[in-house]
Structure 1
């Protein structure tokens, strides 16, 4: 059975998941990346903390997809939620699409995206992809239904991937209104685009660690966010083992 591949940025976002693997979990090195491989119930799972940012995420995802040929990639971790979306710290968000939020050009007339530049980031058959990258509809719908049955506050919508996170209310409002985003992160678009290139289903679930406002890390709760995300991913993996 092909494994489920779970990708996070940092070990803190993967610790509970690694503990949940069966006692025969083993370290695994693929290319330049160290993973943990084991079983969750009857489901083979490989977990990799790939590093922060789009470059690490894309490199790890490409290396692991080529080696493992997983049935599903789950990208998880924490995110900053935009104001007015209905998400609070510790709540969950699932992506229906990712947006590459700072791929483009700044001109004297304003910011232009890749489509306005006529520069697709990926072309598959006759379909061109610019800043918007779709994720698995089936997987995200399963996540929404699972959250509803479990009484978990989860919002599905557009995620925005940036290299420079929003540390002001103004920047957050600008990105959210430009793309209709619900939260931002630093890796999801890279993972989603690499999965699209390889033809592998991708699910992205993140816990809200902070609201996008004037940067004040004393108001953040990263442990709560990453625990909520990991506990939900474990529920999702359990759901995958149930007969259809």
Structure 2
């Protein structure tokens, strides 16, 4: 059975998942450490690849090449944009990821890769610039699961940045420009590697803060990380129990 690969930026974002792992062994692939074991009957790999797009892309590509997963779940924390309707502790799932920094700053303002006529990558004749789609099926399954358990989960566009938004003004600008709900530092990198590799990608994040003028005393990273991991565990349980999945497909119509 092909494994499920779960990617995070830092160990705190996978601690609960690693605790749930049975028959766990530590492995190393090109300097990236990962844990390999099972959750239920599912083979699962856990990797905290590091902060930022470079680490995320390199770790994801390395483990996809070595382990051939059929699904990658990217999880961890995110900042929610003002006006998104998200609050600290809420969960969000990405419909699309946006490369929020890649482009050019002109006298007329910031312009994206399409303006520059530079695709981020090509897949056949299709050019991808700043927007990377994620698996619709996996995201819809997550929404259905949240509905079944009565868990608040918002689906929308995420922005990936190298420089986090530390002011309300910047957050509002990105939210408005990209019609997005949240931002992180790794999501688009993981999503793009998965798209290149033909592997489904699901991104679930817990909201640790609102993107306003930076005040870390108002953040709750442990709560966000725990919320995301607990939901991922429910998602894995559902994958491991097809009878529950079949029941949930009719649950919203009750």
Instruction: Please name the residue that 1:9 is paired with.
Output: 9
Aligned length, in residue pairs: 243
**Quick check: 1:111 aligned with 2:125?**
no
Instruction: Please name the residue that 1:69 is paired with.
Output: 68
Give runs of aligned pairs for residues 170-181 of structure 1, distance below 5 A: 170-181=169-180
Instruction: Please name the residue that 2:42 is paired with.
Output: 43
Give runs of aligned pairs for residues 53-132 of structure 1, distance below 5 A: 53-132=52-131
Deviation readout 1:130-151 (Å, 9 max, x if unpaired): 0000000000000001011111
Deviation readout 1:73-125 (Å, 9 max, x if unpaired): 00000000011111110000000100000100001111110001110011001
1:195 match: secondary structure: helix
Deviation readout 1:168-200 (Å, 9 max, x if unpaired): 010000000000010000000000000001010
CA distance, structure 2, for counterparts of residue 169 and residue 29 of structure 1: 40
**Quick check: 1:203 aligned with 2:202?**
yes
TM-score scaled by length of structure 2? 0.95
CA deviation after TM superposition for structure 1 residue 126, in Å: 1.3
Unaligned runs of 5+ residues in structure 1 are: none
Give runs of aligned pairs for residues 148-187 of structure 1, distance below 5 A: 148-187=147-186
Unaligned runs of 5+ residues in structure 2 are: 247-254
**Quick check: 1:215 aligned with 2:207?**
no
Instruction: Please name the residue that 1:32 is paired with.
Output: 31
Instruction: Please name the residue that 1:141 is paired with.
Output: 140
1:70 match: secondary structure: coil
CA distance, structure 2, for counterparts of residue 213 and residue 84 of structure 1: 11
CA deviation after TM superposition for structure 1 residue 50, in Å: 0.3
CA distance, structure 1, for counterparts of residue 95 and residue 152 of structure 2: 16
CA distance, structure 1, for counterparts of residue 145 and residue 103 of structure 2: 36
CA distance, structure 1, for counterparts of residue 220 and residue 68 of structure 2: 34
CA deviation after TM superposition for structure 1 residue 210, in Å: 0.3
CA distance, structure 2, for counterparts of residue 85 and residue 121 of structure 1: 27
CA distance, structure 2, for counterparts of residue 116 and residue 155 of structure 1: 30
CA distance, structure 1, for counterparts of residue 211 and residue 148 of structure 2: 29
CA distance, structure 2, for counterparts of residue 31 and residue 242 of structure 1: 34
List structure 1 runs of 4+ shifted beyond 2 angstroms: none
CA distance, structure 2, for counterparts of residue 239 and residue 223 of structure 1: 24
CA distance, structure 2, for counterparts of residue 212 and residue 180 of structure 1: 15
CA deviation after TM superposition for structure 1 residue 223, in Å: 0.2
